[in-house]
Chain A
Amino acid sequence: MLTLSHISKTFNPGTVNAKTALNDLSFHADKGDFVTIIGANGAGKSTLFNAISGSFMTDSGRISLDGKDITLMPEFKRARQIGRLFQDPMRGSAPGMSIEENLSLAAGHGGWMSSISKKDKANFREKLALLGMGLEDRMKQPVGLLSGGQRQALTLMMATFNPPKVLLLDEHTAALDPGTAEKVLAITKQIVEENGLTCLMITHNMQSALDLGNRTIMMNSGNIVYDVSGDDRKNLTVNDLLLKFKESVGKELDNDRMLLS
């Protein structure tokens, strides 16, 4: 499904600030894989997502999605096949526009000159009701009035409205309070399972890295240092993960926001 082969990216090359963010990284995810990603600060997790979604072009290597080479495809074209959520709940929706207007943009069907139909509205209502947040009764309200958790749930709905080939979740619950985070995570799980999405999720929560999905990778210095799935992963504990990290990197895993439980 998603294949990265030998991708590298160096920021500010040739200066004192040169930083190799991705270093000859190769990775392959099969259709339906749910991969959780952990790693220290500056390990290159978000950079990896930026490379996949096309926020920048890689310096070398190839990226292919569903058998098609997308290495040099611009970001907005990739966005039709790749859904992405950021940590900041404010980032994924337009605050001055109503919920239904935001959803209409995400739904994307109909020509440029089409407007929101009754059928669209009924469809939006139905999908919003699944979130269980009462948003279906607030469709005319500007998104700016929603709470962080509601906005992130809405963004998730927008990103998966037309099931993408790959869903990238970049610590999308980190800025939410624990209760809301749990709820958004449950919705995430539900949507991913229902649509059989291929999903990559960066998380700072070691436990959910093991609980969610079917595979976990650990990153350090722009590369993957540990990749576990199947039976090996089933019996893994958070402590094992930390030991693995120390084993392969030679120092303790260090992440500002890391949650061990």
Chain B
Amino acid sequence: MDINSILALGENALQLGLISSLTVLALFLSYSMLNVCDLSTDGCFTLGATVGAVVAIAGHPLLSIPAAMAAGVISGFITAFLQTKMGINSLLAGIIVNTGLYSVNIAVMGNSSLLNMNRTKTVFTMLKSVLENTPFSQEYVLIIALIAVIFVVIFLSLFLRTKLGLAIRATGDNPDMVRSSSINPVFTTIVGLCISNSFTALSGCLLAQSQKSVNIDIGTGMVTIALASLLIGGIFLGKGKIPLRAVGVVLGSIIFRVIYTVALRFDMPAYMLKLVSSVIVIIAISAPYIKSKLPTFKRKLLLKAGKEAA
């Protein structure tokens, strides 16, 4: 394999990593800060993709981004409303919304499960024509993904320092404290999930437009892939200040895609992506638990073997 194809693969991994890191940043807000595992992520990702695609196909490529994000906000609001005002368990609320979104997404695409954007003007084709005859003419996907990621990282870093951001963090950090304080946990949960889902939808919108097509399965498994990336990022930059952790999360997403790309080169079939992400999530979440149980387990073995002094 020559150097050029390695570079091409690397760039592809980088693009995908950056675009999906927007979903990872969304989970950074909902999962790491608010302590809500938002299982509507898959459906919301697809929602962003379908809404963005439909608006772009209708001839408004620039409008497609705010439209997708607004759809994400609505989806996040419903998920949050179900768990804070309707007494539905937060995991269940996500699953219910996710299921409902399947129908919504098909409806958005006009009773179809696939939309093609080969001849559609998207934000990517727009930048591509702007960059024509410059050295960056082939880097349009990377540039847009990078701009979106930088925007979201800066937004989160600033937002989580505000009083509202602190209140959202406290809601996840110590719900007991928040319940008996003047912070309304209903409000913080709703705001947190609206914002996080708008990023998830943005992520879906950009992925669909960059690959010039959207199908109903585009978001399937995103929540696990994003969680895996989030946990990988946590290994490297899990402690410290929020901006650093946000950057770590983006790195985690890129690393995940690079590992995956390398695995593909070693003839791992593409359909293994989701299994790999599941295994990563299992290991990352269970490792601390297993580690804490290990001493007792060792003693049990020793006792059984009769090797420990009574």
List A residues at the B interface (Cβ < 8 Å): 53, 55, 74-77, 79-80, 84, 86, 90-97, 101-102, 104-106, 108, 110-116
Given A93-B174, A94-B173 in contact, is the A113-B164 Cβ separation under 8 Å? Answer: yes
The verdict on B177 contacting chain A, using a C-beta distance below 8 Å, is yes
Nearest residue, chain B, Cβ from A76 = B184
Given A93-B174, A94-B174, A96-B169 in contact, is the A55-B180 Cβ separation under 8 Å? Answer: yes
Task: Kindly identify, within residues 150 to 204 of chain B, every residue whose CB is under 8 Å from any CB belonging to chain A.
Answer: 161-164, 166-167, 169-170, 173-174, 176-177, 179-185
Nearest residue, chain B, Cβ from A155 = B177
* Contacts beyond the supplied A91-B177, A102-B170, A114-B163: 4 A-B pairs with Cβ under 8 Å: A76-B184, A97-B166, A101-B166, A108-B163
Query: How far, in Å, is B185 (CB) from chain A's closest CB?
Result: 8
Assembled-state Cα–Cα distance A77/B166 (Å):
18
Is the Cβ of B174 less than 8 Å from the Cβ of A95? Answer: yes
Return chain A residues, CB-CB under 8 Å to B161. 115-116
Return chain B residues, CB-CB under 8 Å to A55. 179-180
Is the Cβ of B182 less than 8 Å from the Cβ of A80? Answer: yes
Nearest residue, chain B, Cβ from A79 = B182
Return chain A residues, CB-CB under 8 Å to B164. 112-113
Given A76-B181, A77-B182, A105-B183 in contact, is the A97-B163 Cβ separation under 8 Å? Answer: no
List B residues at the A interface (Cβ < 8 Å): 161-164, 166-167, 169-170, 173-174, 176-177, 179-185
Q: Please pick, from A80, A90, A92, A113, the residue contacting B162 in the complex, using a CB distance under 8 A.
A: A113
Is the Cβ of B163 less than 8 Å from the Cβ of A94? Answer: no
Return chain B residues, CB-CB under 8 Å to A113. 162-164
Assembled-state Cα–Cα distance A116/B173 (Å):
19
Is the Cβ of A75 less than 8 Å from the Cβ of B180? Answer: yes
Assembled-state Cα–Cα distance A110/B177 (Å):
21
Is the Cβ of A104 less than 8 Å from the Cβ of B163? Answer: yes
Query: How far, in Å, is B243 (CB) from chain A's closest CB?
Result: 13
Assembled-state Cα–Cα distance A95/B164 (Å):
18
Return chain B residues, CB-CB under 8 Å to A93. 174, 177
Is the Cβ of B166 less than 8 Å from the Cβ of A53? Answer: no
Query: How far, in Å, is A99 (CB) from chain B's closest CB?
Result: 12
Assembled-state Cα–Cα distance A94/B166 (Å):
10
Return chain A residues, CB-CB under 8 Å to B173. 94-97
A interface SS class: loop
Return chain B residues, CB-CB under 8 Å to A53. 180
Assembled-state Cα–Cα distance A114/B167 (Å):
12
Assembled-state Cα–Cα distance A22/B170 (Å):
32
Assembled-state Cα–Cα distance A41/B169 (Å):
36
Query: How far, in Å, is A112 (CB) from chain B's closest CB?
Result: 4
Return chain B residues, CB-CB under 8 Å to A110. 163
Assembled-state Cα–Cα distance A102/B181 (Å):
12
Is the Cβ of A84 less than 8 Å from the Cβ of B162? Answer: no
Is the Cβ of A115 less than 8 Å from the Cβ of B163? Answer: yes
4 nearest A-B pairs in the assembled complex, by CB-CB distance:
A94-B173, A112-B164, A79-B182, A94-B174
Return chain B residues, CB-CB under 8 Å to A90. 174
Assembled-state Cα–Cα distance A94/B179 (Å):
12
Is the Cβ of A115 less than 8 Å from the Cβ of B170? Answer: no
Assembled-state Cα–Cα distance A112/B182 (Å):
13
Return chain A residues, CB-CB under 8 Å to B167. 105, 112
Is the Cβ of B169 less than 8 Å from the Cβ of A97? Answer: yes
Q: Could you say which of A55, A91, A111, A115 has the most chain B C-beta atoms within 10 Å of its C-beta?
A: A115
Nearest residue, chain B, Cβ from A158 = B181
Assembled-state Cα–Cα distance A86/B174 (Å):
14
Nearest residue, chain B, Cβ from A140 = B241
Assembled-state Cα–Cα distance A86/B166 (Å):
22
Given A93-B177, A94-B170, A96-B173 in contact, is the A76-B183 Cβ separation under 8 Å? Answer: yes
Nearest residue, chain B, Cβ from A93 = B177
Could you jot down 17 A-B contacts, CB within 8 Å?
Answer: A55-B180, A75-B179, A76-B183, A76-B184, A79-B182, A80-B182, A91-B176, A93-B177, A95-B173, A95-B174, A96-B169, A104-B166, A105-B166, A105-B167, A105-B183, A108-B182, A113-B162
Return chain B residues, CB-CB under 8 Å to A106. 181
Query: How far, in Å, is A247 (CB) from chain B's closest CB?
Result: 36
Query: How far, in Å, is A59 (CB) from chain B's closest CB?
Result: 20
Assembled-state Cα–Cα distance A84/B174 (Å):
15
Is the Cβ of B174 less than 8 Å from the Cβ of A76? Answer: no
Assembled-state Cα–Cα distance A111/B191 (Å):
15
Query: How far, in Å, is A70 (CB) from chain B's closest CB?
Result: 14
Q: Could you say which of B166, B169, B180, B184 has the most chain A C-beta atoms within 10 Å of its C-beta?
A: B180
Q: Could you say which of B162, B163, B170 has the most chain A C-beta atoms within 10 Å of its C-beta?
A: B163
Query: How far, in Å, is A119 (CB) from chain B's closest CB?
Result: 15
Given A91-B174, A95-B173, A97-B169 in contact, is the A79-B163 Cβ separation under 8 Å? Answer: no
Assembled-state Cα–Cα distance A76/B167 (Å):
13
Q: Please pick, from A77, A84, A97, A105, the residue contacting B180 in the complex, using a CB distance under 8 A.
A: A84
Is the Cβ of A111 less than 8 Å from the Cβ of B163? Answer: yes
Assembled-state Cα–Cα distance A95/B182 (Å):
18
Return chain B residues, CB-CB under 8 Å to A108. 163, 182
Assembled-state Cα–Cα distance A206/B278 (Å):
57
Assembled-state Cα–Cα distance A191/B169 (Å):
28
